[in-house]
């Protein structure tokens, strides 16, 4: 009887996770379609941020339910950060303790040097981690931007990628083109197979961050999303070959 109850509980849990994955996929489709329609109607500046925030609130609500369902069986934990310093301290610690892989995004149109020291320290922790072992695999997806500070940042990232390749290290950066800049309000980071961070930034000094530790949530929900981002991004080496980012413009 106990084994039957355990099997039923496992199937229910898997069903909830599959529903979450489908819901997140459907929300992504809704978001893309809505942004396209709104751009055609000229309402994008008014509606794009609310749509992004709606997506984040949806994720927060569903993951809060998952935390209650998985805490006992899968050891899932969920932590909300309302302070950017604490959030980036947590991501920096996750980077320093990662064993195998770090997959992150930076979805803002301005350089991290224009934010604060906590963000720059996070970037440097990721670079140190990637340099420290040939077994470490690092990926970052950035947004393309014509902002001068971001162009400079892309060039610095390209230099880091080149040094890593020369040293036979795995520090890889790709760039998304033709993406609304405000989609950068939501960023994602996956650390090994069991930890994910999601953040929503509003301006320079406000952030809402969420940290989840659960192998099932990473595997069944966010890993597929990150793979989709990575497969649709352009390696930074090719991105900076174009005239828009040539050194003569700097």
Residue pLDDT, tens place only, 159-195: 999 999 999 999 999 998 765 554 445 789 999 998 9
Residue pLDDT, tens place only, 11-70: 555 555 555 555 555 555 445 444 444 444 444 444 445 555 555 555 555 555 555 555
Q: Sign of dihedral through CA atoms 26, 29, 31, 34?
A: negative
User: Token match 């890993």: residue?
Assistant: 223
Dump the DSSP string for 195-227: EEEEEEEETTTEEEEEEEE-HHHIIIIIHHHHH
pTM metric for this prediction? 0.71
Distance of CA 112 to the CA centre of its chain: 15
Spatial contact of 131 and 164, defined as CB atoms under 8 Å apart: yes
Alpha helices in the chain (DSSP H): 2-41, 44-74, 84-97, 117-131, 148-166, 215-217, 223-232, 236-239
Torsion, CA 87, CA 183, CA 32, CA 190, rounded to 10: -40
Please tell me the distance from the alpha carbon of residue 150 to that of residue 156, in angstroms, as a whole number: 10
């Amino acid at each position: 009887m106990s084994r039957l109850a355990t099997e039923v509980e496992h199937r229910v849990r898997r069903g909830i996770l599959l529903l979450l994955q489908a819901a997140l996929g459907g929300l992504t489709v809704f978001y893309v379609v809505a942004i396209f329609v709104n751009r055609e109607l000229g309402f994008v500046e008014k509606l794009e941020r609310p749509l992004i925030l709606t997506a984040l609130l949806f994720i927060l609500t569903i993951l809060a339910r998952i935390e209650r369902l998985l805490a006992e069986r899968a050891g899932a934990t969920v932590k909300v950060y309302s302070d950017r310093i604490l959030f980036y301290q947590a991501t920096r610690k996750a980077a320093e303790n990662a064993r195998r892989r770090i997959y992150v995004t930076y979805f803002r149109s301005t350089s991290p040097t224009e934010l604060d020291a906590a963000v720059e320290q996070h970037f440097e922790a990721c670079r140190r981690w990637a340099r420290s072992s040939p077994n470490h695999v690092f990926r970052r997806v950035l947004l393309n931007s014509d902002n001068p500070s971001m162009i400079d940042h892309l060039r610095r990232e390209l230099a880091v990628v080149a040094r890593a390749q020369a040293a036979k290290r795995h520090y890889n950066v790709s760039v998304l083109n033709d993406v609304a800049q405000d989609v950068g309000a939501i960023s994602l980071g996956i650390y090994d197979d069991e930890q994910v961070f999601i953040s929503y930034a509003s301006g320079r000094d406000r952030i809402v961050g969420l940290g989840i530790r659960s192998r099932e949530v990473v595997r069944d929900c966010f890993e597929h999303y990150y793979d989709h981002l990575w497969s649709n991004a352009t390696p930074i080496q090719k991105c900076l070959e174009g005239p828009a980012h040539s050194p003569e413009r700097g």
